[in-house]
């Protein structure tokens, strides 16, 4: 496995499994197994909605990154999805961890993840976030605003020491949607090169002896499938490094170019070619540093979705099928409370009927959720067998990232469980949120 996903150019068919975990098989027409486990059996045992996570796929994708970037540090972006088992898998495969809250940090440490392999970032770190990061001894804190400098320095104390990086805005627009483009000047993250805020913050850090500035950080956005934005970012970041050396005699030894590597959600969609990305970034970094007279810094990358997204499958039970206004609505027992991404970003999925062999004739349908919002749509332009009916099982691939991690308590519907599958065995990782869980937080009248 040398790329995160091979682009597919053929027309999708019901049997097209190109965006599914590589372990997916169809032993019988209409059936589907992932990690050697029948999806219908998972739904029968654990109920629906339920998330199925292929452990082998996650581990394989971690190894693919390590192989593609052998000279770099690879940090898994925990915001995509995190539980104790996921932390163990990432740790076992030699990756670091990128967190953005005390909650993610403490979950990882509780799972045994070494704190010195964890990076904390975020545009609005709370005092509690910083306090826990320093208490556990995280490897680096990424400074995102000038006010954090004094706060971190004071918390560390005059005799303390903390490695930090500075998140820089390179002024590059990239990503699959306006809401997930983070490398431009007009959003909340980072410090701009163009207006001098990044340079000013770096000068302030250098005046704090207890803070060790190890490098620069940037993140361009998410769902990027083109290599060119990363090459432009490398050039601009190296340019800033060269100016810092000239002005301060400072040689930074780390460069973090973030993640955001795109995956295909439907057959035929483009995905980032990881082998090409690694080759091009490596060459660009070496060339830019040679031209600037700099030592090549250690590269850091932060994949999240590209590690866990294609390893997950969401299972739903059809509640009703309605024909109205010239459209067919297939309503399922989940929705925007367990996957808000279609409502937020207009994401498109390729759901599939599993558990029985449906009609050979496909019909256009809109798969909708159970919530009281017109925007609660899981798949607006899906094609399912025209005999789909209540009680059927619908599977949505590429459901491992930003589903459960962004889930809400809307309509007091509990969040789904997560079930790992591997070598023919299924095991519960995260239990279903019960009504008792929800009610227990309501403590007064």
* Active-site residue list: 372
Query: DSSP states of 368-414 as a string?
Result: E-SSS-TT-EEEEEEEEETT--TT-EEEEES-SSSSGGG---GGGPP
Query: How open is the CA angle 427-428-434, to the nearest 5 degrees?
Result: 155
- 69: Cβ contacts below 8 Å, ≥ 6 apart: 278, 299, 301
Which residue stretches of 328-383 are H helix?
Answer: 341-345
Cα 147 from Cα 409, distance rounded (Å): 33
Is the sign of the CA dihedral 67, 118, 281, 174 positive or negative?
Answer: positive
> What stretches of 303-347 adopt beta strand conformation (E)?
312-324, 327-332
Residue 15, Cβ neighbours under 10 Å: how many? 8
**Is the Cβ–Cβ distance between 89 and 55 less than 8 Å?**
yes
φ and ψ of 440, to 5 deg = -65, -20
């Amino acid at each position: 496995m040398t790329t995160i996903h091979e682009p597919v150019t053929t027309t999708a068919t019901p049997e097209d499994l190109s965006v599914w975990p590589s372990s997916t098989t169809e032993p019988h027409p209409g059936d589907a197994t992932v990690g050697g486990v029948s999806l219908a059996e998972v739904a029968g045992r654990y109920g629906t909605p339920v998330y199925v996570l292929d452990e082998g796929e996650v581990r394989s994708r971690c190894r693919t990154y390590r192989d593609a970037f052998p000279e770099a540090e690879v940090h898994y972006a925990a915001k995509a999805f995190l539980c104790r088992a996921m932390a163990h898998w990432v740790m076992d495969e030699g990756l670091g961890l990128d967190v953005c809250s005390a909650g993610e940090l403490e979950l990882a440490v509780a799972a045994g993840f070494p704190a010195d392999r964890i990076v904390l970032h975020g545009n609005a770190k709370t005092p509690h976030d910083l306090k826990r990061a320093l208490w556990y001894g995280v490897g680096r804190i990424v400074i995102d605003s000038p006010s954090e400098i004094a706060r971190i320095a004071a918390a560390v104390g005059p005799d303390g020491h903390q490695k930090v990086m500075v998140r820089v805005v390179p002024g590059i627009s990239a990503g699959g949607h306006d809401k997930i483009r983070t490398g431009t000047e007009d959003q909340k993250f980072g410090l701009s090169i163009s207006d001098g805020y990044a340079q000013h913050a770096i000068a302030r850090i250098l005046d704090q002896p207890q803070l060790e500035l190890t490098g620069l950080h940037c993140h361009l956005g998410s769902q990027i499938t083109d290599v060119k934005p990363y090459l432009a970012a490398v050039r601009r970041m190296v340019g800033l490094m060269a100016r810092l050396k000239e002005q301060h005699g400072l040689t930074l030894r780390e460069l973090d170019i973030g993640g955001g590597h795109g995956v295909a959600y439907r057959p035929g969609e483009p995905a980032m070619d990881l082998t090409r990305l690694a080759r091009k970034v490596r060459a660009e970094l070496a060339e830019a540093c040679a031209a600037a007279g700099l030592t090549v810094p250690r590269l850091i990358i932060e994949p999240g979705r590209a590690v866990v997204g294609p390893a997950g499958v969401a299972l739903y039970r059809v509640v009703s099928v309605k024909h109205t206004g010239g459209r067919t609505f297939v309503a399922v027992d989940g929705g925007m409370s367990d996957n808000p991404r279609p409502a937020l970003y207009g994401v498109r999925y390729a759901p599939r009927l599993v558990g029985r062999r449906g009609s050979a004739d496909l019909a256009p349908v809109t798969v909708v959720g159970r919530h009281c919002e017109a925007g609660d749509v899981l798949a607006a332009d899906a094609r399912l067998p025209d005999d789909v009916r209540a009680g059927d099982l619908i599977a949505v691939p590429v459901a491992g990232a930003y589903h459960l991690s962004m889930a809400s308590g809307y309509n007091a519907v509990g969040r789904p469980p997560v079930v790992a599958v591997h070598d023919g065995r299924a095991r519960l990782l995260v239990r279903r949120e019960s009504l008792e869980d929800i009610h227990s937080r309501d403590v007064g009248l």
